[in-house]
């Protein structure tokens, strides 16, 4: 009986890892029929509808009028900018490499902590950041062949930076609402900003194959909605720092899934770069006076 809670937590964490590892694969499939902006909007229309059902059941509170600008900014960084950059970036970056580059978020969080929020960053943290950025450079230059620098990889890094900005703002204002309420309004506000891509979306949805639309449906429900609920359960039932370590299993899981689903074969440089990035962010996370590591994704 004592082991059951641990098994539930492990299953929930495994579910989260699989969902978020699927995200770049789902994006890759979705881009076969959707433009990047249309894909982002379709994904979050689905997620918004799903979270509306959850919000109705959980009876979340209404936002205060003075918080609407903040929620719009959170939605812009977490949903709009993040996913537009991610989708455009994946037009020229493999799904596996994209997952590795997206995991660089803690590196940018540390830089923001120092340059924007004036937090102290020690020598160990600077070493981790510099090594991690070196690893991202190896992934970007090695994804399409040695020395072939592709600007699409820089867009994935922009998506990671956007997520870091969201996390920093959310961290400083999280006391205003509970986690579920905050993520609901973040998703809804971000989706509202994506409505600029509405023209032409219905035609693309009609012309897309059933398999592509299924992949987008899964993308909207699982990585963008159910995974959050599962992750909230993991964080509520276990130590945050210990639980966050499990997120570093996402890139290798994504690389494996991409090889099985998309027949991708990561180059030796991508694997080497992934090892450098993951080792750096893990060392940054485990350092005693650690920089805070983002604990969830939308």
> Among 101, 141, 89, which residue's Cα sits nearest to residue 269?
141
Residue 2 is predicted with a pLDDT of 45
In a domain, 29, yes or no: yes
Angle at 275 between CA 269 and CA 21, to 5 degrees: 95
In a domain, 295, yes or no: no
Tokens (6 digits) for 152: 């699409």
In a domain, 124, yes or no: yes
Residue 289 is predicted with a pLDDT of 47
> Is the CA virtual torsion 53, 59, 61, 62 positive or negative?
positive
In a domain, 296, yes or no: no
Q: Which domain holds residue 148?
A: 4-286
> Among 181, 226, 160, which residue's Cα sits nearest to residue 16?
226
In a domain, 294, yes or no: no
User: What 8-state DSSP symbol labels residue 148?
Assistant: -
Taking only the tens of pLDDT, the chain with its 298 residues reads: 444 677 888 899 899 999 999 999 999 999 999 999 999 999 999 999 999 999 999 999 899 999 999 999 999 999 999 999 999 999 999 999 999 999 888 899 888 888 887 788 889 999 999 999 999 999 988 887 655 566 889 999 999 999 999 988 887 777 888 888 988 999 999 999 999 999 999 999 999 999 999 999 999 999 998 988 888 788 778 776 667 778 889 999 999 999 999 999 998 899 999 999 999 988 887 765 444 455 556 6
Tokens (6 digits) for 237: 């039932």
The structural domain count of the chain equals 1
Residue 180 is predicted with a pLDDT of 87
């Amino acid at each position: 009986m004592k082991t059951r809670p641990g098994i539930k937590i492990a299953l929930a964490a495994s579910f989260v890892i699989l969902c978020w590892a699927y995200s770049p694969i789902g994006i890759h499939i979705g881009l076969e029929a959707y433009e990047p902006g249309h894909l982002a909007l379709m994904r979050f229309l689905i997620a918004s509808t799903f979270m509306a059902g959850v919000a109705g059941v959980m009876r979340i509170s209404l936002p205060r009028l003075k918080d609407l600008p903040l929620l719009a900014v959170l939605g812009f960084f977490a949903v709009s900018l993040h996913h537009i950059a991610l989708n455009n970036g994946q037009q020229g970056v493999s799904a596996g490499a994209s997952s590795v580059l997206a995991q660089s978020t803690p590196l940018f969080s540390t830089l923001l902590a120092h340059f924007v929020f004036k937090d102290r960053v020690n020598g160990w943290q600077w070493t981790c950041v510099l090594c991690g950025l070196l690893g991202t450079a190896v992934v970007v230059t090695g994804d399409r062949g040695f020395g072939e620098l592709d600007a699409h990889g820089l867009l994935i890094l922009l998506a990671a930076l956007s997520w870091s900005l969201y996390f920093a703002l959310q961290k400083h204002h999280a006391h205003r609402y509970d986690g579920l309420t905050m993520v609901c309004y973040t998703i809804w506000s971000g989706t509202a900003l994506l409505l600029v891509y509405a023209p032409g979306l219905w035609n693309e949805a009609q012309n897309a194959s059933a398999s592509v639309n299924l992949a987008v449906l899964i993308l909207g429900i699982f990585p963008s909605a159910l995974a959050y609920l599962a992750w909230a359960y993991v964080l509520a039932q276990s130590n945050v720092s210990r639980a966050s370590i499990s997120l570093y299993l996402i890139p290798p899981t994504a690389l494996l899934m991409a090889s099985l689903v998309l027949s991708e074969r990561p180059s030796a440089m991508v694997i080497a770069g992934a090892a450098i990035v993951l080792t750096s962010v893990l060392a940054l996370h485990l350092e005693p006076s650690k920089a805070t590591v983002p604990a969830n994704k939308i």
